[in-house]
Amino acid sequence: MKKGDRISFLFAFIFFLTGILILRIFDIQILSHDYLSSKAMAQWRGVLGEITRGGIFDRNGESLLGSYEEKCVFISPKWLKDTEIEFLQKNNVLTKASSNEPKSIKLSDINLEITKRLIGKTPGIFLYSKKMRYGSSALATHLVGYSGKAGIEKAFNQILEGDKKANILFDGLGQPIPGISKDVSEDESWGIYLTIDSRIQSIVERIMDQSVKKGAVIVIDAKTGEILAMASRPNYKQFELEKYIKDEDSPLINRAVQAYIPGSIFKIVVLSAALEENIATLNDEFFCNGSAKVGGNVIRCSSYEKGGHGRITLKEAFAHSCNSVFIELGIRLGKERILKYAEKFGLGKTVLDILPEEKPGYIPSYKNVYYADLGNLSIGQGNLQITPLQAAQIMLIIANDGLRKTPLLVKKVVDKNGHVNQMEFKEKEAERIISSDTARKVREALEAVVDYGSGLFAAPSEDDFRAAGKTGTAELGDGTNHAWFVGYFPADNPRYIIAVFIEKGQSGPLKAAPVFRKIAEEIYFFERKVNMHFFSP
């Protein structure tokens, strides 16, 4: 072969090899990219190979989960010298029975200092932070729920599910590769942003811990319908669920959206119906002798032992929660109109359609209410159930001049790609339930409840603002009663709706009303403090 032919052959061979190399690179980078990438990522396993999950935040972007980081150490004994293993065993970081398999260990403060002495001296020890989703400072635990099983965590599970991430890269033998593994801790900003205000939620939960063994509290912004706080007691911690599963007090139940007999807070609906239908006016006089007979049922008034309230106006009867007057009012209205207004106020159906635990309550059908039942129905007793959230919705309607604004719980959803969905959770067009004139008269009666009626203990202790509302003591037939108070403040310009329910709390006036007052006062003074700070020079 001539010299020129040899050179041509050499260039052709080089060109051929270059073509094969280019094709292989194209295959690796383009055609087989996904397959090879997944094979490479398969090496990321074990310690930090956890599924990330979107956060759950309040209206200001503050996490409600109480998340925190734990310091952990990943130890690979095969990378350690015998003297280093002995040092770790001597200081109780490793046991003598430990195998040569890599292991992750949660560190105490003492062990952390011990392991730090070996950092940088051996590739066999790697410190990292492990993010714990739920912590002891978590708020609104019943509302938030727990991973995929309850509450917001269940309702938005598909959105909250994330990808698998890891920070330790292993070789083919399962040993961490020194210099490549990194301690990376990321703050996730995607997830569900609620209307909850963690500052108000904290106030509510602290007061409930002091005053409510079993029950629920709802706080709603009267202007927007946004739910600012939702709490249930007894409480639980998401990171130790096993502890609560068999608890006889059922701490895992979200009592804010469970249904209970309403008692006299249902008189708000009956009064609204009577005024709207021109059955009576606030100044009409009635007579209470301490009891009322409907069919074969004799129902006592709270004034029974004193011989009744005597002559009393409708406004005064509402203020003092007179059963006799409201039974007469219910008879005048008839069961059809009472049930119609109960439905108009949103009872008998869920409020949010988001929380999987929310119950619709129960409003009996027309055919299942007999004349003898009318007395109990008129005062919120008998075959009738509502949720604390529905109670708050009733008051929201009254505070908004008879317009029903749908309570809102979610402000926006941000998926893991950063896409924001707000439109689905915007305020919807309000629906008129009663006239503004009727709503104004009901508010006048609600103010009387707190000024001189059964809600005296709901009145603020100072004259900084006034409140309005209605007490309820729901008899269960076994000698126990549920305690209710639902109201708003300030009375002249409603800003906050607060519903308080205490399971078997015995007395609405004595137990639920004071809880309302404490919460209202703390929110009022907190808001004033914030505003003073905001406007200060």
**How much is the mean pLDDT over the chain?**
88
The per-type count for the chain, helices as H runs and strands as E runs, is 16, 20
Mean pLDDT of 76-103: 77
User: How many Å apart are CA 236 and CA 232, to the nearest integer?
Assistant: 10
Q: Give me the residues paired with residue 71 across strands.
A: 129
pLDDT score for 92: 75
User: How many Å apart are CA 20 and CA 270, to the nearest integer?
Assistant: 86
pLDDT score for 105: 77
Q: Are strands 55-57 and 191-194 parallel, antiparallel or unpaired?
A: parallel
Pick from 102-116, 235-249, 435-449 the range whose average pLDDT is largest: 435-449
267-276 and 388-399 helices cross at what angle (nearest 10)? 30
**Could you give all domains of the chain from N- to C-terminal order, each with its CATH number?**
68-132 (no CATH), 198-534 (3.40.710.10)
pLDDT score for 393: 98
Would you say residue 536 has pLDDT above 50?
no
pLDDT digits (tens, 9 = 90+) for 366-418: 899 999 899 999 999 989 999 999 999 999 999 999 999 999 999 999 988 88
pLDDT score for 419: 87
Closest by alpha carbon to 396, among 494, 521, 305? Answer: 494
pLDDT score for 512: 98
pLDDT digits (tens, 9 = 90+) for 288-343: 999 999 988 899 999 999 999 999 999 999 999 999 999 999 999 999 999 999 99
End-to-end CA distance of the chain: 95
pLDDT score for 47: 45
pLDDT score for 101: 74
**pLDDT band for position 177 (cuts 50, 70, 90):** low
More confident residue, 179 or 131: 131
User: How many Å apart are CA 493 and CA 490, to the nearest integer?
Assistant: 5
pLDDT score for 463: 86
Would you say residue 272 has pLDDT above 90?
yes
pLDDT score for 46: 44
Between vectors from CA 330 to CA 327 and to CA 331, what angle results, nearest 5°?
90
Q: Are 450 and 491 in contact (CB under 8 A)?
A: yes
Range in 262-266, 303-307, 360-364 with the lowest mean pLDDT: 303-307
pLDDT score for 534: 46
